[in-house]
Chains A and B, each alone.
Chain A
Amino acid sequence: MLKVVQLSCERDDRLLFSNLSFQLGRGEILQIEGRNGAGKTSLLRIIAGFSSSLGGDIFWNEQPLSTVYADFRLDCFFLGHKPGLKLDLTPLENLTWRAKLANTIINREILLAALDRVELAGYEDIPCSHLSAGQLRRVAFAGLVASPAKLWILDEPFTAIDIEGVSWLEKLFDEHTQQGGMVLVTSHQPLADRQGKLRRLNLEHFAAVCRGLPHRGLLMT
């Protein structure tokens, strides 16, 4: 269960958002909306632990994130703008090193089954450089399917995905939330709220009014 309290983020001396608080319980999907530059990606990177926030705290299972990092990363799958795959390697090799890095126990059958689910069954030993951007995205989704992570943090997963790909992904989210998983996703298109588990959060409500901040904190990020 993820809880964010009074989070504020600053990039290049510009306060993107402040006073942001929300909770993501088991079996819930949270969609982060906001125009470009509102700080969606920065928010996800702060939660995933890449960058640090100006203020506020993040809790994972009621414990401060900074003390349970290993546990958090065991249960978390991050998918950024870039697919995170090596173009010279085949999808199978890519998924193996990523799974090993994330400490998940996998074997060839699991990976083949995952590739099959994303309709890339015959592509497992073709170098990724021959695949299209959409197919690369689906290889990354195969990694998502094969990983036991509870929390999915997906940054704009719908880019370079065609129509039925989007509905396939929404079906995947529902399946994941039924098994008690959590999905934190940013995207411009509104998601279909099939089981009433979807909540939306618009970052612009938390954008700071930037006329003369009274007194900026002493501490930097």
Chain B
Amino acid sequence: MNWTFFHKLGSPKWFYDISGKWLPWLQVISLVLIVVALVWGLAFSPSDYLQGNSYRIIFIHVPASFLAQSVYLMMATAAAVTLIWKIKLADMALKVMAPIGVSFCILSLVTGAIWGQPTWGTWWVWDARLTSMLILLFLYIGIIALRGAIHTTEAAAKACAILSLVGVVNIPIIKFSVDWWNTLHQGATLKLTEKPSMAPEMLWPLLLAIVGFYLFFMMVMVLRLRIEIISRERKTRWVKELVS
């Protein structure tokens, strides 16, 4: 089986050139989408009959929560690629995705807490979703701390890969046990996000915001990945020519 194509796919230099081409497009589209979605959600969609206008926080809380969880899953796949095929680019992606993921996890927690205040009258509620998001934050912090603690790049790469795989195995377990624990103690509280039964003029800005946030994430990841490539390949000739 000729693997050269697959390995070419993983070559940092190839990725650097390709991403250079379609990065500007990604930047423009993601920022436009986010602005349109938030303006639409804030100004034009109607207010909720029950929660009034405080529900408009949904347009940033839901995308941030989705992003926090899917970034962790992306990190787990990058970890699997690092361990199985030992492609350097995958480890660089793993190292780069962690800070972005943790920033959106914190954003989701903060917006969830702010939203909880008008809805339940307290800043922090041990709601199942918020609690499992908090535990996801712990998993993120674990990976970033481990990356910082081990200095040799090869060992740090594989250790973080193993930790994120162990973490991803635990996410369903944690979600299940937190949900079970939550229903045991509090009964069904008002769910933060209604299911798609939302009115269409509320649903469309939300979907737009979600797509905008994902594109924004990809743009930031590519930006950081390019810098990580330069820093890791600083000894190679193409980086020296690039920089000087």
Interface residue ranges, A against B (CB under 8 Å): 11-13, 210, 212-216, 218-221
7 closest Cβ pairs, A-B complex: A220-B88, A221-B154, A218-B11, A212-B237, A219-B86, A218-B7, A216-B236
Q: Which residues of B contact A12 (CB under 8 A)?
A: 151-153
In the complex the two chains form, what is the Cα distance from A11 to B152 in whole Å?
8
Chain B 230-244 per-residue mask, 1 if CB under 8 angstroms from chain A, else 0:
001101111010000
Within 8 A of A (CB), among B1-25: 7-8, 10-13
Given contacts A11-B152, A13-B153, contact A216 B91 (CB under 8 A): no
Do the beta carbons of A215 and B236 come within 8 Å of each other? yes
In the complex, residue of chain A having the shortest beta-carbon distance to the beta carbon of B6: A218
In the complex the two chains form, what is the Cα distance from A12 to B237 in whole Å?
18
In the complex, residue of chain A having the shortest beta-carbon distance to the beta carbon of B10: A218
Q: Which residues of B contact A218 (CB under 8 A)?
A: 7-8, 10-12, 87-89
In the complex the two chains form, what is the Cα distance from A212 to B234 in whole Å?
9
Q: Which residues of B contact A215 (CB under 8 A)?
A: 13, 236-238
The listed residue with most B CB atoms (<10 A of its CB), out of A13, A213, A220, is A220
In the complex the two chains form, what is the Cα distance from A214 to B8 in whole Å?
16
Q: Which residues of A contact B10 (CB under 8 A)?
A: 218
The SS class assigned to the A binding surface is: loop
B157 at interface, CB cutoff 8 A: yes
Chain B 147-158 per-residue mask, 1 if CB under 8 angstroms from chain A, else 0:
000011110010
Do the beta carbons of B91 and A220 come within 8 Å of each other? yes
In the complex, residue of chain B having the shortest beta-carbon distance to the beta carbon of A51: B154
Given contacts A210-B235, A212-B235, A212-B237, contact A219 B153 (CB under 8 A): no
Do the beta carbons of B7 and A219 come within 8 Å of each other? yes
The listed residue with most B CB atoms (<10 A of its CB), out of A210, A213, A216, is A216
Q: Which residues of A contact B236 (CB under 8 A)?
A: 212-216
In the complex the two chains form, what is the Cα distance from A220 to B84 in whole Å?
11
* Number of residue pairs A-B, CB distance < 8 angstroms: 46
Q: Out of B8, B13, B157, B237, name the residue touching A220 (CB < 8 Å).
A: B157
* A50 CB, min distance to chain B CBs, angstroms: 12
Do the beta carbons of A220 and B86 come within 8 Å of each other? yes
Q: Which residues of B contact A11 (CB under 8 A)?
A: 152
Q: Which residues of A contact B88 (CB under 8 A)?
A: 218-220
* A17 CB, min distance to chain B CBs, angstroms: 16
13 A-B residue pairings within 8 Å (CB atoms): A13-B153, A13-B232, A212-B240, A215-B236, A215-B238, A216-B233, A218-B8, A218-B10, A218-B12, A219-B87, A220-B91, A220-B153, A220-B154
The SS class assigned to the B binding surface is: helix
* B177 CB, min distance to chain A CBs, angstroms: 36
In the complex the two chains form, what is the Cα distance from A221 to B86 in whole Å?
7
In the complex the two chains form, what is the Cα distance from A13 to B151 in whole Å?
11
In the complex the two chains form, what is the Cα distance from A214 to B233 in whole Å?
11
Q: Which residues of B contact A210 (CB under 8 A)?
A: 235
* A180 CB, min distance to chain B CBs, angstroms: 36
In the complex the two chains form, what is the Cα distance from A210 to B240 in whole Å?
14
In the complex the two chains form, what is the Cα distance from A17 to B116 in whole Å?
60
Q: Which residues of A contact B232 (CB under 8 A)?
A: 13
* B45 CB, min distance to chain A CBs, angstroms: 48
In the complex the two chains form, what is the Cα distance from A215 to B240 in whole Å?
11
In the complex the two chains form, what is the Cα distance from A218 to B6 in whole Å?
11
In the complex the two chains form, what is the Cα distance from A11 to B154 in whole Å?
8
Within 8 A of A (CB), among B194-236: 232-233, 235-236
Within 8 A of A (CB), among B70-106: 82, 86-89, 91
In the complex the two chains form, what is the Cα distance from A215 to B12 in whole Å?
11
Do the beta carbons of A213 and B157 come within 8 Å of each other? no
Q: A13-B153, A212-B236, A219-B88 are in contact. List 16 more A-B contacts (CB 8 A).
A: A11-B152, A12-B151, A13-B232, A210-B235, A214-B236, A215-B13, A215-B236, A215-B238, A216-B233, A216-B236, A218-B11, A218-B87, A218-B89, A219-B87, A220-B157, A221-B154
Do the beta carbons of B152 and A216 come within 8 Å of each other? no
* B88 CB, min distance to chain A CBs, angstroms: 5
Do the beta carbons of B235 and A216 come within 8 Å of each other? yes
In the complex, residue of chain B having the shortest beta-carbon distance to the beta carbon of A221: B154
Q: Out of B12, B87, B235, name the residue touching A213 (CB < 8 Å).
A: B235
